[in-house]
Amino acid sequence: MPATSQDNLPQAGFYFSLSMNGARDTEQASFQEASGISMRPDEEEIQEGGENRFKHKLPGWVKFPNLILKHGIVPGDSALAKWFVSSLEADLSQSIVIKTLTLSLLNKNGDKMMGWSFINAYPVKWSISDLKKQDNMIAIETIEFAYNYYTRNV
């Protein structure tokens, strides 16, 4: 079937899929929201002697914010949950296991549209939304990862 101009439009109804260490782990988790996919260099300001009108701005190291993913509660026996528990409950007598996380943006049909690989990632925070009897809402789980850098996969 030939491509139409509709194929190039932004897709509605997308979601995210996360896999750990590529083909080595078969389990994946789905997410409704992802944030922290950005990079930005530090800026160093240098004053020039005798020049008071401005400061020179020079680029520095690139900074990557933490990756934050949100979704409905998943079973505690999933590979992702086990990794979190072993990392966050360790007493630092054990080293934290780092992984390469692959986050894929999927359209409403489950087809991959874009992806990112987060190198040397490890969990740093796991939280659950406030639970209230009067609110008839789905409990949302938020997980946060630190990582060294990411690459974009098309």
d(CA 147, CA 120) in angstroms, rounded, equals 5
Could you tell me the pTM of the whole model? 0.77
Region 92-118 average pLDDT? 87
What's the pLDDT tens digit per position in 41-56?
999 998 988 888 889 9
Q: Which position has the higher pLDDT, 3 or 77?
A: 77
Nearest 5°: the CA angle 99, 103, 104 is 150
3-state SS class at 89: coil
pLDDT for the residue 135:
65
Structure tokens at 64: 């990557």
11-153, which class in CATH? Answer: mainly beta
Question: Beta 140-146 vs 149-153: how paired, if at all?
Answer: unpaired
Task: Give the tens place of pLDDT for each residue, 109-142.
Answer: 888 889 999 999 999 998 887 776 666 666 778 8
Report d(CA 112, CA 116) in Å as an integer.
11
Residue 1 reports pLDDT greater than 50: no
